């Protein structure tokens, strides 16, 4: 594949994550082998923004539910990666973007925090996701939607292709640095 790597990154709305955003974006651009398109997803009060929503009360972070907006943001075409912002990349993210998804709508690593899969790094087949999402205009008003999607997908090996855990390496997990693809800081304030 040679399409640009589309990556959507969830982050805080008011600049609280500015330093890690700079470091993460630099690490992505430094290691990627082709064009990359980065979209920062932040809460906004601008009702005309695609990222505007009212239903954030049950989200764990200010951006948790935005991951489910991504397929529609891509007009249900091609692929897109979602990640949290508290990461550092050490490997060509195009390798993740191009991985064999085995005809499944999502790829994510196995884990226990969300009942079977860790959705802090996800690869979407946006076209396939159209069958599993409701329009963003509806999602914006559904407080339980994010958790419903986690329940629908987590642990569902028929719908989720297992990613190498090094793409979402939680706090190092005792890997040597040269074997970590994407370091995720989960235990930092």
Q: What is the mean pLDDT of residues 30-43?
A: 96
pLDDT digits (tens, 9 = 90+) for 96-149: 999 999 999 999 999 877 778 999 999 999 999 999 999 999 999 888 999 999
Contact 8, 82 (CB under 8 A): yes
The two structure tokens encoding residue 82: 């979602």
- Cα–Cα distance between 63 and 70 in angstroms, integer? 12
- Cα–Cα distance between 28 and 89 in angstroms, integer? 6
**Cα angle 21-114-106, degrees, rounded to a multiple of 5:** 70
pLDDT at 1: 54
- Cα–Cα distance between 35 and 108 in angstroms, integer? 23
Q: Which element (helix H / strand E) includes 156? A: none
The answer for residues whose C-beta is within 8 angstroms of residue 142's C-beta and 6 or more apart is 55, 134, 148
Tell me whether strands 160-162 and 106-110 are parallel, antiparallel or unpaired: parallel
pLDDT digits (tens, 9 = 90+) for 141-183: 888 999 999 999 999 999 999 999 999 999 989 999 999 999 9
């Amino acid at each position: 594949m040679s399409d640009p790597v589309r990556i959507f990154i969830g982050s805080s709305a008011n600049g609280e994550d500015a330093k890690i955003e700079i470091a993460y974006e630099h690490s992505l651009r430094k290691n990627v082998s082709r064009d990359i398109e980065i979209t920062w997803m932040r809460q906004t009060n601008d009702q005309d923004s695609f990222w505007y929503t009212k239903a954030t009360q049950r989200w764990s972070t200010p951006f948790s539910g935005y991951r489910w907006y991504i397929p529609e943001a891509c007009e249900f075409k091609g692929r897109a990666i979602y990640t949290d912002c508290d990461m550092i990349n050490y490997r060509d993210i195009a390798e993740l973007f191009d991985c064999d998804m085995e005809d499944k709508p999502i790829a994510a690593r196995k884990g226990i925090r969300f009942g079977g899969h860790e959705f802090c790094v996800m690869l979407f087949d946006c076209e396939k996701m159209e069958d599993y999402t409701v329009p963003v205009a509806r999602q914006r008003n559904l407080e339980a939607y994010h958790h419903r999607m986690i329940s629908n997908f987590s642990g569902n090996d028929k719908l989720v292709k297992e990613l190498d855990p090094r793409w979402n390496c939680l706090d190092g997990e005792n890997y040597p640095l040269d074997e970590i693809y994407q370091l995720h800081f989960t235990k930092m304030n």
